[in-house]
Amino acid sequence: MHPAALAARRVVVIGGVAGGASCAARLRRLTETAEITLFERGANVSFANCGLPYYVGGVITDESKLLVANAAKFKSWFNVDVRERTEVVAIDRQARTITARELPTGREYSAPFDALVLAPGAQAIRPPLPGIDLPGIFQMKTIPDSNAVRSFIEANGVRRAVVVGAGFIGLEMVENLVHRGVEVTLLEAGSQVMPPLDPEMAQAVSAVLASKGVKVVLGDGVAGFEQGPGGKGMMVRTSGGKTYDADMAMLVIGVRPDTALAKTAGLELGARGGIRVDEHMRTSDPVIYAVGDAVESKDWVTGEWGLCPLAGPANRQGRIAADNIAGRDSKFRGTQGTAVVGLFGLTIASTGANEKTLKRLGRPYVKVYTHANNHAGYYPGASTIDFKLLFDPKDGLILGCQATGTEGVDKRVDVVAALMQLRGSVFDLEEAELCYAPQYGSAKDVLNLAGMVAANHLRGDHPIVSWDDLPRVKEEVAAGTAVLVDVREPSEVARGTVEGALNYPLSSLRARLHELPKGKRCYVFCQVGLRGYNATRQLLLAGRDAVNISGGWRSALQAGVVSSTL
């Protein structure tokens, strides 16, 4: 028990959304004697900021639905003194007081604390670009933000919008603007949409955007805004010199931890710009805690400190800070970055590390791709889940996964997240005993299949490469040491294949094996990987050198190494 904890009679919490609100409520359940005061500079504690895009889109129709709790409930349930529209402007660490300013009146007063919790959240990044203050340029972080966008759309009959930033909020804004009948251009400075995904997995996202008529511009950032001709609308200028006309623009290029107070108070920050905390959520001052989007947290998959502005971890951190203030030795185990977003019926989810990160860290990994049905193919309505699994080449420890599809995507990623939490391996995934009835899954679920592919690879039964390796493969082919073998049926091959690939359908491979040139490595592929695996086994057992290209033709299209002829 930390000595400071015992004396925590007066606890001040700064910020009342996810982490701060959870902290205050949990703390009250651990002590009836502490005075708990919660300062919130906005008009509402505990509002559902993850719902804002849907409120703009009119999917959530009632603003009051966004208010998860309010000051009265905090008082009656938890005896927490909530002060809304009140900003804490200074912390005096020596005196252990804060200075609060009532925003409507400007009145300032100080309040003492024995323990302080910083939960200021993050702020939408709003770079000082030319024209940034023109009307019609919005961010999406608070209820007032969402009301401003709604009003602007209605008052101005917005028909065209530019959304800047193709991350979670950017995609949600695109969906909701389209839902309102707005024509959207999505501008992303990076080379792909949805940065948490690897680029080939982001292809499905780009495809659904295109199918809804969204114009996606990659590799070009916003450089400034100008008023439109005749004072109507605006022109969004890009770094690449392009101009897009629009009636409004959403700037959703990310958030930055709100560390102003922490900085002024001399608290230690991390390299990524968030407040540095230990596993007890304690800052460099042992009576000051920090939680939520403002802090850096450790990614326990990679071991890296980073920013993880997600509601789940914020809530957990709030409860852990409360535990420690109440004298309990409670620890935050870090984050694994589990996340999901919905986009026009497509679900995009991931957990753990992506390949870009593993590459950057130089961490050894293997990747496999599968494309299996969300449920039994014989039951109507089955759809494909595109799945990427990353794991350790030595022991099969799961490092991360990414999935896209229309049904059952979040389920698969949640199961992988749970296995990862207990340091599960691809062998565990292979054997997982999951729900099966024809509407829900398959006797060999998506996850079992991915686990099998990975486990078969690790056991040496199933050599694989990915389409990234195609340039090298083509060199081997050119050098006469390898052949590419498409084992699909001719009718499938006719719709597109890799130039120079031989066609030996699996169904007749055994009979025609003698035709295949000997002494050359066979790079085998099919549509999704299954027939390729069976062909690879046949070839290996016949003494040939064979390698399957993971995920087959469907992965080739996603990887963009070939383009469908149909």
State which of positions 7-26 bind a second copy (CB under 8 A): 18
CB of 98 to a second copy, least distance (A): 26
Q: Are 11 and 5 in contact (CB under 8 A)?
A: no
Q: Residues with Cβ < 8 Å from 348, sequence gap 6 or more?
A: 171, 194, 197, 204, 205, 340, 341, 342, 403, 404, 409
Q: What is the DSSP string of 409-471?
A: HHHHHHHHHHHHHTT-BHHHHHH------TTT--SS-HHHHHHHHHHHHHTTS--EE-GGGHH
Q: What is the DSSP string of 115-163?
A: EEEE---EEE-----TTTTSTTEE--SSHHHHHHHHHHHHHHT--EEEE
Among 190, 438, 463, 496, binds a second copy (CB under 8 A): 438
Q: Which of 23, 50, 435, 522 is catalytic?
A: 50
Among 268, 359, 379, 495, binds a second copy (CB under 8 A): 379
Q: How far is CA 247 from the centre of its chain?
A: 29
Check if 401 is active-site. Answer: no
CA–CA separation, 498 and 532 (whole Å): 15
Cβ–Cβ contacts within 10 Å for residue 28, how many? 19
Nearer to a second copy, 88 or 341 (CB): 341
**Entry field: residues in the chain:** 566
Task: Tell me the CA distances in angstroms from 482 to 284, 444, 479, 518, one per residue in order.
Answer: 59, 33, 8, 10
Among 439, 475, 480, 500, binds a second copy (CB under 8 A): 439
Nearer to a second copy, 470 or 546 (CB): 546
Q: Does 562 bind a second copy (CB under 8 A)?
A: no
Q: Supply the DSSP symbol for 276.
A: P
Q: 507: helix, coil or strand?
A: helix
CB of 153 to a second copy, least distance (A): 20
Q: Does 65 bind a second copy (CB under 8 A)?
A: yes
Q: Does 70 bind a second copy (CB under 8 A)?
A: no
Nearer to a second copy, 32 or 499 (CB): 32
Question: Binding string, 340-369, against a second copy, x = CB under 8 A?
Answer: xxx----x-x-x------------------
Q: Does 414 bind a second copy (CB under 8 A)?
A: yes
CB of 299 to a second copy, least distance (A): 11
Q: Does 313 bind a second copy (CB under 8 A)?
A: yes
Q: 307: helix, coil or strand?
A: coil
Q: How far is CA 261 from the centre of its chain?
A: 28
Instruction: List, in sequence order, the alpha helices (H) in 12-70.
Output: 18-30, 52-56
> Token pair 């950057």 is at which residue?
360
Q: Does 48 bind a second copy (CB under 8 A)?
A: yes
Among 111, 223, 434, 562, binds a second copy (CB under 8 A): 434
Nearer to a second copy, 143 or 556 (CB): 143
CA–CA separation, 179 and 16 (whole Å): 31
Segment lying near a second copy (by CB under 8 A), choices 134-142, 200-208, 353-361, 430-438: 430-438
CB of 177 to a second copy, least distance (A): 17
Segment lying near a second copy (by CB under 8 A), choices 80-88, 159-167, 414-422, 493-501: 414-422
Segment lying near a second copy (by CB under 8 A), choices 80-88, 126-134, 285-293, 506-514: 506-514
CB of 82 to a second copy, least distance (A): 15
Q: Does 227 bind a second copy (CB under 8 A)?
A: no
Which helix (H) or strand (E) covers residue 524, if one does?
Answer: strand 521-525
CB of 467 to a second copy, least distance (A): 23
Among 444, 463, 493, 562, binds a second copy (CB under 8 A): 444
Q: Does 142 bind a second copy (CB under 8 A)?
A: no
CA–CA separation, 374 and 239 (whole Å): 42
Return the active site residues: 50
